[in-house]
């Protein structure tokens, strides 16, 4: 089968011919319907800094794609409970199952691995191929009525966003404010999850792109502001000069982190999700007193089940643009240039017949 592989550090990914994997004991082979192209892949293969980027546990070559949905193809010896052809989504933080963190359902923070899950498509073969071998059946979650050709972004863009919001939900009572800086793939999910899980929080989106701001409004943001000093002033005004209880930085570069420190409130949460490599200015008054800073990584398997529920209830969804595997590098280029409006999803060769054009637009999940 063909697979989009990272073959070396600081080298663009390459389409290569690789064997179709055979599921061993306890494993499941999934026929990939779509694999999402996440901005993290760019951090992985562009890699401005030497050394492995966050989450990259092993060396190339490996197949990219950590956001996958498809159909159960074949079960390894000992696996039961699935029907071949059943639509499923893949949880990507593959753990050992026996360390204290895995036992507590925190595969994303395995301290035996230095605090990070290994992550498929970030060291282990991911889903930008015809088939994906999943090492444990518990990581394959039935989608029920959801279409795997639309659902892939739930497993990272949706899941990471859900975890980032949920850890701060206790701050988001009536009258509170949440700022989402960067309304791309993750930011759009974050806005919808904030809308779904809070009752009377003012949700403010900030982005450099007018189209993304329009989408943010469409997805439930109360305010959508072009990034810059005016956005900072506007957020201060909206919050009676107090700042927002939660600031989610989905970009993570110097200017967005600087803004985050300025618009977060005393006792608030400043959550850095973006891997932009910027530095947060920290001194006694910045971020404000007792504002906690966190950098969450992906999320837990139970949270993926919650995300699937939200999608089934049509509370969250993602506009997807479909690209055949042969055009995956074009998708990454467009992502890099800020020209993907929701999520680019890659279609493996066998499935390409259901993509008439290189890019098709705006089909919500669900
Ligand atoms: P994306 O490219 O889809 O979205 C990024 C958005 O940020 C775009 O809308 C862009 O216009 C906007 N943006 C760029 N510069 C900006 C600025 N100065 N101010 C405001 N907005 C700006 O990317 P994505 O796939 O949504 O990923 C977002 C980030 O989250 C990436 O850095 C990615 O690596 C990271 N990520 C982290 C985790 C995690 O577990 N922490 C998981 C997935 C992705
Ligand atoms: Zn990702």
Alpha carbon of 25 to ligand 2 centroid (Å): 28
Closest atom of ligand 1 relative to the 343 alpha carbon: 3
Give me ligand 2 centre to Cα 201, in Å. Answer: 26
What order of strands is seen across the sheet that includes strand 177-181?
A: 223-226, 202-207, 177-181, 244-249, 264-272, 292-294
Q: Ligand 1: does its nearest atom lie under 6 Å from the Cβ of 209?
A: yes
320 CA from centroid of ligand 1 (Å)? 16
State residue 362's pLDDT score.
37
Query: Other CB atoms closer than 10 Å to residue 48's CB: what's the count?
Result: 8
Residue 349, helix vs strand vs coil: helix
Q: List the domain boundaries for the chain.
A: 2-155+299-362, 159-294
CA–CA separation, 365 vs 360, rounded Å?
14
Atom of ligand 1 nearest to the CA of 164: 41
CA–centroid distance, residue 334 to ligand 1 (Å)? 14
- Per-residue tens of pLDDT for the chain, all 366 residues: 999 998 887 788 899 999 999 999 999 999 999 999 999 887 766 543 344 444 455 678 889 999 999 999 999 999 999 999 999 999 999 888 888 999 999 999 887 766 555 567 667 899 999 999 999 999 999 999 999 999 999 999 999 999 999 999 999 999 999 999 999 999 999 999 999 999 999 999 999 999 999 999 999 999 999 999 999 999 999 999 999 999 999 999 999 999 999 999 999 999 999 999 999 999 999 999 999 999 999 999 999 999 999 999 999 998 999 999 999 999 999 998 999 989 999 999 865 545 443 454 333 333
Alpha carbon 100 to chain centroid, angstroms = 25
pLDDT of residue 46: 56
- Contact yes or no for 270/288 (Cβ under 8 A): no
Same fold, 2-155+299-362 and 159-294: no
Give the pLDDT score at 12.
Answer: 84
Is the shortest distance between the CB of 190 and ligand 1 below 6 Å?
no
Cα-Cα-Cα-Cα torsion 324, 330, 331, 333, nearest 10 degrees, comes to 170
Q: Ligand 1 in contact with 181 (CB < 6 A)? A: yes
Diameter of the chain measured on Cα atoms: 61
Rounded to 10°, the helix 157-166/301-312 angle is 110
Whether pTM > 0.85 for this model: the answer is: yes
Task: Compute, in angstroms, the gap from residue 238 CA to the centroid of ligand 2.
Answer: 31
Q: Which of 120, 251, 298 most suits a substitution to test ligand 1, by most atoms within 8 Å of the C-beta?
A: 251
Q: Is 109 in the pocket of ligand 1 (CB under 6 A)?
A: no
Pocket test of ligand 1: the residue of 35, 37, 40 to mutate, having most ligand atoms within 8 Å of its CB, is 40
Ligand 1 pocket test target in 44, 181, 184 with most atoms within 8 Å of CB = 184
User: Which atom of ligand 1 lies closest to the CA of 252?
Assistant: 32
CATH domain 159-294 topology: Rossmann fold (3.40.50)
The single-letter DSSP state of residue 153 is: G
The CATH code for residues 2-155+299-362 is 3.90.180.10
């Amino acid at each position: 089968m063909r697979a989009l592989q990272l073959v070396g550090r600081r080298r663009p990914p390459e389409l290569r011919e690789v064997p179709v994997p055979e599921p061993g004991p306890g494993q499941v082979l999934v026929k990939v319907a779509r694999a999402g192209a996440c901005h993290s892949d760019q951090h992985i293969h562009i890699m401005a800094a030497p050394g492995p980027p966050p989450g990259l546990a092993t060396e190339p070559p490996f197949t990219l794609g950590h956001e996958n949905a498809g159909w159960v193809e074949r079960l390894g010896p000992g696996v039961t409970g699935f029907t071949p052809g059943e639509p499923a989504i893949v949880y990507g933080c593959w753990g050992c199952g026996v360390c204290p963190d895995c036992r507590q359902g925190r595969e994303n923070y395995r301290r035996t691995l230095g605090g990070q899950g290994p992550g498929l498509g970030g060291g282990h073969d991911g889903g930008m191929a015809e088939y994906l071998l999943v090492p444990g059946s518990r990581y394959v979650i039935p989608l029920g009525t959801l279409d795997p050709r639309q659902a892939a972004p739930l497993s990272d863009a949706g899941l990471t966003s859900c975890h980032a919001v949920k850890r701060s939900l206790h701050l988001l009572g009536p009258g509170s404010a949440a700022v989402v800086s960067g309304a791309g793939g993750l930011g759009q999910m974050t806005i919808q999850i904030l809308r779904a899980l809070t009752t009377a929080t003012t949700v403010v989106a900030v982005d450099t792109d007018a189209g993304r701001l329009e989408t943010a409004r469409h997805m439930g943001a109360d305010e959508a502001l072009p990034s810059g000093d005016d956005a900072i002033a506007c957020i201060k005004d909206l919050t009676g000069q107090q700042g927002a209880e939660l600031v989610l930085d989905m970009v993570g570069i110097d200017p967005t982190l600087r803004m985050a420190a300025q618009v977060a409130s005393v006792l608030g949460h400043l959550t850095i999700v973006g891997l932009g490599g910027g530095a947060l200015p920290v001194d006694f008054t910045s971020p404000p007193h007792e504002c906690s800073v966190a950098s969450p990584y992906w999320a837990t398997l139970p949270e993926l089940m919650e995300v699937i529920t939200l999608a089934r209830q049509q509370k969250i969804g993602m506009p997807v643009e479909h690209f055949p595997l042969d055009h995956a590098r074009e998708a990454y280029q467009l992502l890099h240039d800020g020209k993907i409006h929701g999520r680019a999803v890659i279609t493996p060769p066998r499935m390409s017949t259901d993509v008439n054009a290189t890019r098709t637009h705006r089909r919500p999940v669900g």
